[in-house]
A and B are shown apart, each in its own frame.
Chain A
Amino acid sequence: MDNFLSRVRTLTHSSIEKHRLAFNRFEWPEKIQDDMWWHSPDALSIATSAIENDWSEEQKMALAKWECINIFSLNYTGELELMQEVSRIMHEVKLGEAKEYLHHLIDEENQHMWYFNKFCQTYAGKVYPSKKIQLEKQKLEKPMDHFLVFARVLIFEEIGHYFNVVNARDKRVEPFIREINEAHYHDEARHIAFGRQVLEQLAEDAIVDDNAADFVENQLDKSIAINIGSIYNPQAYRDAGFPQGVLLREKLLNDPSRMFIHEKKMLSGVKRLLGKCGLNVMEETAA
């Protein structure tokens, strides 16, 4: 616990030192031209897939606009869900004085939500709504509930981090969009570091036996499937000019090269961390 608290104190200090108010941070351009890369070609959902070469540069650029809006919409709706869930448990979770960091996390996520929503509404006139809903409502013991909340947050953040990194580094991406990705990247790097520490801390009380491990693995595999699936939005494909969005989505979700990216580029950190907690996720896709 001492090491954990010391690391979280460092993160808290960093959040205070590096705090930049998002509300006056950016110079918002009046318009972003359609003939710019809104999203790195390397981050497109068709990148490296068997069908990528069938797409012209013009088609890819159209897709980049709507996939940028999709990823920013996912950031907005996902961070809203994160704030609701973390707020629900923040006064009960057994993290000692490290709970203070949750106030910084919620503060920063609130500002991210603001700029992602503003971006989507200003430049595309809409946010893609979330399709996520918890259909199987279960009453869980608190340690299990708290572990699952932070594990789901980490899965969501690590996937988002992949897009921040690829877009922030790619000089082809429109400068304002790169700047947003970079700003988000810096805050999320702290949140991910915190989330990894928290999960290790909460695992002992949550994963009490094999049954608990099986249950958590099952829940997290579903969460991974839903989060990965949301990258492939049929409405974004239709907005980019491809009417059979659902069919395209299914093709891409089953493309071996895309599955490799999910596991090795987006979720390898999550998988390794959960492994340290005694959990094996994504076993089916790894086989």
Chain B
Amino acid sequence: MSETLDLVEETSFDTLCSWLKMKAKRDEDIPLDLNLIENKLVDSIVFVEFMMMLEELAGIQLEVNEDLLKKVYSLQAIKENFFQ
């Protein structure tokens, strides 16, 4: 059961990574520890879409504020906060 759940969550997380890679027009995978905001992979417009995608894939509803930024600043942070 646990393995199945992990597989499902990994797939959703991978979908999110691929979506961001496409939005950021990157050829290579985005390093998990890269700060997405400081490195300008997301601006204010992409950030909104990114949060909508995260909500859909993780099955949650997010309120955007400074605390949320600490949870979504990198793909690693997102994985730890929303896909485990």
Residue ranges of A at the interface with B (Cβ–Cβ < 8 Å): 129-136, 222, 225-226, 229-230, 233-235, 238, 244-246, 249
> A133, A230, A244: which contacts B47 (Cβ < 8 A)?
A133
**In the complex, B5 has a CB within 8 A of chain A:** no
Q: For residue B50, which residue of chain A has the nearest CB?
A: A131
B residues 60-82 touching A (CB-CB < 8 Å): 61-65, 69
CB-CB under 8 A from A233, the residues of chain B are 52
Q: Would you give the shortest CB distance from A82 to chain B, in whole angstroms?
A: 17
Q: Name B's interface SS.
A: helix
B64 close to A133 (CB less than 8 A)? yes
CB-CB under 8 A from B49, the residues of chain A are 229, 246
Q: Would you give the shortest CB distance from A273 to chain B, in whole angstroms?
A: 23
Q: Would you give the shortest CB distance from B18 to chain A, in whole angstroms?
A: 13
B residues 21-51 touching A (CB-CB < 8 Å): 37, 42-45, 47-49, 51
Assuming A245-B56, A246-B52, is B61 touching A235 (CB within 8 A)? yes
B62 close to A129 (CB less than 8 A)? yes
> B37, B48, B53, B65: which contacts A226 (Cβ < 8 A)?
B48
B interface residue count range (under 10 / 10 to 19 / 20 to 34 / 35 or more): 10 to 19
Q: For residue A223, which residue of chain B has the nearest CB?
A: B44
CB-CB under 8 A from B56, the residues of chain A are 234, 238, 244-246
Residue ranges of B at the interface with A (Cβ–Cβ < 8 Å): 37, 42-45, 47-49, 51-53, 55-56, 61-65, 69
Assuming A130-B64, A135-B37, A235-B61, is B44 touching A229 (CB within 8 A)? no
B52 close to A136 (CB less than 8 A)? no
> B47, B55, B63: which contacts A135 (Cβ < 8 A)?
B47
A131 close to B45 (CB less than 8 A)? no
Q: For residue B47, which residue of chain A has the nearest CB?
A: A135
CB-CB under 8 A from A249, the residues of chain B are 52
CB-CB under 8 A from A244, the residues of chain B are 56
17 A/B residue pairs, CB under 8 Å, sorted by A: A130-B64, A131-B48, A131-B62, A132-B64, A133-B44, A133-B64, A133-B65, A133-B69, A135-B42, A135-B43, A136-B44, A225-B45, A230-B48, A235-B61, A245-B56, A246-B52, A246-B53
A131 close to B43 (CB less than 8 A)? no
Q: Would you give the shortest CB distance from A221 to chain B, in whole angstroms?
A: 9
- Nearest 7 CB-CB pairs, A to B? A129-B63, A131-B48, A133-B64, A234-B52, A135-B44, A246-B56, A225-B45
A222 close to B48 (CB less than 8 A)? no
Q: Would you give the shortest CB distance from B52 to chain A, in whole angstroms?
A: 5
> A226, A235, A238, A246: which contacts B45 (Cβ < 8 A)?
A226
Bound together, the chains give a CA A238 to CA B47 distance in angstroms of 20
Q: Would you give the shortest CB distance from B74 to chain A, in whole angstroms?
A: 14
- Contacts A130-B63, A135-B43, A235-B52 aside, 14 further interface pairs with beta carbons under 8 A come to A129-B61, A129-B62, A131-B52, A133-B64, A134-B44, A136-B44, A222-B44, A222-B45, A226-B45, A229-B45, A229-B48, A233-B52, A234-B56, A238-B56
Q: Would you give the shortest CB distance from B48 to chain A, in whole angstroms?
A: 4
CB-CB under 8 A from A229, the residues of chain B are 45, 48-49
A129 close to B64 (CB less than 8 A)? yes
Q: For residue B68, which residue of chain A has the nearest CB?
A: A133
Q: For residue B53, which residue of chain A has the nearest CB?
A: A246
Q: For residue B38, which residue of chain A has the nearest CB?
A: A135
Q: For residue A230, which residue of chain B has the nearest CB?
A: B48
